Amino acid sequence: MIKGVKYYCNVYLKQMTDLNYHTSHEECIMKSYRKELWFDVPTRRAFINITPRVRECITESGIIEGLVLVNAMHITASVFINDDESGLHQDFDDWLERLAPHEPISSYRHNVGEDNADGHMKRQIMGREVVVAVTNGELDFGPWEQIFYGEFDGRRKKRVLVKIIGE
């Protein structure tokens, strides 16, 4: 058993065992792994490549075939997949600022005692989470794909959930 990994056999896989799809109970074991990645971004906005940290989670989980969910657990942050190219990141930042500018703060009804309404909108555009296949213990990516954490209201601790299920 691997520390931090929950082991269970779900009903669907048990039914598959009953139908002789699996030859032993051990083969019907599905693993579940959960870890929180914490970030404290010193700026209001940033894009951070978290692919290496997600890969570490896959290795820790021991899961060879399955799915990994990576989601921002704050409503002014995002997780998305794209190319790790600084010009593209600047284009994203410029585009998001045109769509949902931070200022004037008074232009947002949400900004009563806060100044982060634009962060909520930017998160809505960039998305909450990604799901990626895990094949042979690796992220099953297309060319140039990487996982990013997008911060739109930084300067405090926030977290990303990594949840992996599979065998």
pLDDT along the chain (167 residues), means of 10: 47 41 56 96 97 98 97 98 97 98 94 93 97 98 97 96 97
Any idea what the Cα angle at residue 13 is, between residues 12 and 16, rounded to 5°? 95
Distance CA 101, CA 109 (A): 14
- Confidence at residue 113, expressed as pLDDT on a 0 to 100 scale: 85
Q: 149 - beta bridge partners?
A: 48, 79
What pLDDT does residue 79 have?
98
pLDDT of residue 112: 87
Three-state DSSP class for residue 45 = coil
The rounded Cα 57 to chain-centroid distance in angstroms is 12
Query: Phi/psi of residue 28, each to 5°?
Result: -95, 10
What is the sign of the dihedral through the CA atoms of 52, 56, 61 and 62?
A: positive
Predicted local distance difference test score (pLDDT) of residue 27: 56
φ/ψ of residue 49, rounded to 5: -75, 115
Domain 33-166 has CATH 3.20.20.70: no
pLDDT (0 to 100) of residue 29: 80
The rounded distance, in Å, linking the Cα atoms of 30 and 85 is 36
Within a 10 A sphere around the Cβ of 158, how many other Cβ atoms?
A: 20
